[in-house]
Amino acid sequence: MSRLVVVSNRVAPITEGQATAGGLAAGVLDALKQQGGIWFGWSGDAVATPSGHAKARQQVGPISLYTIDLSRKDYDEFYRGFANDTLWPVLHYQMGLSKFTWEEFSGYQRVNDQFARALVPILQPDDLVWAHDYHLLCLADSLRQAGCRNRIGLFLHTPFPAPPVFMTVPAHAELIQAMCQYDLVGFQTETDRAGFSDYVIRHCEGELVETTEDGQVLRAYGRIIRTGVYPIGVHVDETRNQAKAQANRRTADRLRGSLRHRQLILSVDRLDYSKGLRQRFQAFERFLEDCPAARGGVSFLQIAPPSRGDIQTYKDIRRELEAEAGRINGRFAEIDWTPLRYLNKSFPRSALMPLYDMADVGLVTPLRDGMNLVAKEYVAAQNPEDPGVLILSQFAGAACELDAALLINPYDSVGVAMAMDRALSMRVEERRERHAAMMVVMRRNSLDRWRDRFTSDLELARPAPRGTIAQAVARPSSLALS
C-alpha cells in the first residue's frame, strides 16, 4: 500500500479525543492512521516573510503534520479573495455574490505553486497525493510543473455547477485546464461530476481527445483524467454513541429544562449564506403564521458558529440574521415563550450530538450544499425506536441518498412551513420507517467507505500522460455505487 499524502488548505492539529472530529478531519485521519503518511497545508499564520518551506509540526504514530506559512498578501488574494469571494459563491450557484479580479486569481495560482514547491521535497516516488477542496484546484498543475510524477487526486467537498454557471468565473478555462492535471477528480454527487465532465466535453476547444460513453474517463490536454462520485459519510455508530453518552448530556439537559415540554426544531450550520438561514427563518415565521395552534408549543433553535468573518458578505449575512431573528421574536414571542433561539457560537461536538438526539425535527435547508454532514449526523444520532424527522433541502448533496427525509425547496417558505407542520405531528411508525430507510444508505456510504473508495481508485489511477482511454478503462475499479 502506498504512503498517503493529504493536502488541504488548513491542517487541524491532532488532539486528544480526535476520534470525535467532524467530516474531513475524521475521514482523513482514519486514512492516515491506516496507511501512514503526511498531512500538509497552511499553518493558519499570515507572516511578514514566509520561508516557503514546509515545517514538520507534529508526529503522531505514523502521521506527520507539515505546514507552511503564508504572507498577508497571499492570505488576502488566495484565501479571502479568489477562494472565498469568487469560487465559493459560484460553486454554490450564487454568481451575484461573486467578485473577481485577475490579481486575486494570480494570488490563488501563486499559493498553489507555493504549496507544490514546499511539498515536492518531502514526497517519495510512490506516494499518493490526495488534495481536498476548492482551494487547491490548481495544485496538480503546480506539482506537475515542479516535476512531480506521482498519482494525484482531488476531492471537491463543494458542489460543481453546470458549465454556464462555472463560466461566470473569468478564469474558468485556466481552472479546468489545471484540474485536468489530476489523475482522479472526485465529487459528492453525479450532478457535480457531470457538471465537470460536461464542461470538458463541450468547452475544451480541441483539447479533448476522447471520453468514455458515460463521460467518467476523459482524455484532455494530453492526459487521462478519471472522475467519480464519492459521497462523504459519517461514523454512524460512533455518532449515536456520542449522542446517548450520559457524560455528554449536560447542555442537552439544560435545554430540555428550558423547553418545558415544548417540541424542538434544531438547525446547526456554519454561518454562511449558502446554508439558507434567512430563508429558513422566514419559513419558520410562515409556519407560525399558518399554524397558530403551534404557537407556544414549539421552539426553533438555530446554532450558527461564525465563519469567514473578515469577508464582507459574511458580515452582511450576520447582520441580516440578527435583524430577522429580532423581528420574528418581536412579532410572536410571549412573556414565557421565545419562538426562535439564535446562537451565534459553537459547541463542542460532544455536546452537539445529544442536542441532535433530543430534537423532534432536524431542519437542514441549504440553498446549495456539497453534501451536508449535519443532515447525516442528525439521522445517525437518533434513537431508532423514537426518531426525529429530517427536513432536508433538495439542493443538498445529501438529498441524493436521504430521500426518505421530507425533501423541500428552501426557496419555498410555504412548502417548508408545511413540512414543519407535518414533521411535528408525524406518527412514530412513519418516523421509524423513514429513519430505518435512511440508516441503510448511511451505513452503506459511511465515512470509511468514502475514504477507501477514493484512495483505492487513486491507487489504480497510474499517471498515463500518453495513454489511451482504452488502457485507462481496462483497469479494475472499486466502484459501483449502490
Over the window 316 to 335, marking each residue x when it contacts ligand GDG by CB under 6 A and - when it does not, the resulting string is --------------------
Distance, CA of 316 to chain centre:
22
Q: Residue 171: what residue type? A: A
Question: Are 478 and 452 a contacting pair, CB within 8 Å?
Answer: yes
**Whole-angstrom Cα distance, residue 361 to residue 366?**
16
Place of cell 472530529: 21
HSE at residue 431, side-chain half, CA atoms within 13 A, is: 21
Count of alpha carbons within 13 angstroms of residue 464, beta-carbon side: 21
Please provide the size of the chain in residues: 482
Q: Is residue 349 near ligand GDG by the rule CB under 6 A?
A: yes
Dist CA 382 CA 401 (whole Å): 17
Q: Is the dihedral of CA 83, 171, 175, 197 positive or negative?
A: positive
Q: Does 18 bind ligand GDG (CB under 6 A)?
A: no
Stretch that binds ligand GDG, among 172-180, 321-329, 370-378, 454-462 (CB under 6 A): 370-378
> In angstroms, rounded to a whole number, what is the distance separating the alpha carbons of residues 170 and 148?
28
Q: Any idea which residue has 503564508 for its cell?
A: 70
Stretch that binds ligand GDG, among 160-168, 219-227, 248-256, 363-371 (CB under 6 A): 363-371
Distance of closest approach, residue 427 Cβ to ligand GDG, in angstroms: 29
Q: How far is the CB of 149 from ligand GDG (least distance, A)?
A: 28
Of 305 and 465, the one with the shorter C-beta distance to ligand GDG is 305
- Please report whether residue 358 would count as binding ligand GDG according to CB under 6 A: no
Residues of this chain, 148-167, that bind ligand GDG according to CB under 6 A: 157-158
Q: In what order do the strands lie in the sheet with 223-229?
A: 55-60, 63-71, 37-47, 4-10, 128-132, 151-155, 184-187, 223-229, 217-220, 208-211
Candidates 92, 132, 135, 157; catalytic one? 157
Looking at residue 248, the DSSP 8-state letter turns out to be G
Out of 12, 24, 116, 255, point to the residue binding ligand GDG (CB under 6 A): 24
Q: Within 13 A of 345's CA, how many CA atoms are on the CB side?
A: 5
| Segment contacting ligand GDG by CB under 6 A, of 20-28, 256-264, 294-302, 429-437 | 20-28
Residue closer to ligand GDG (CB basis): 158 or 248 = 158
**CB of 74 vs ligand GDG, minimal distance in Å:** 22
Phi-psi region for residue 99, left (φ > 0), alpha (ψ -120 to 50) or beta? beta
**Binds ligand GDG (CB under 6 A): choice among 277, 283, 303, 423:** 303
| 180, 352, 380, 441: which one binds ligand GDG (CB under 6 A) | 352
CA atoms within 13 A on the CB side of 478: 17
Out of 10, 18, 22, 256, the residue judged to bind ligand GDG by CB under 6 A: 22
**Is 157 labeled as catalytic in the residue annotation?**
yes
Residues in 37-96 that interact with ligand GDG by CB under 6 A? none
Q: Which is nearer to ligand GDG, 357 or 369 (CB)?
A: 369
Closer by beta carbon to ligand GDG, 78 or else 134: 134
Catalytic one of 85, 192, 369, 457? 369
For residue 281, the SS3 value is helix
Q: Which of the residues are catalytic?
A: 157, 369
Residues that bind ligand GDG (CB under 6 A): 22-24, 157-158, 232, 268, 270, 303, 305, 346-349, 352, 369-374, 377
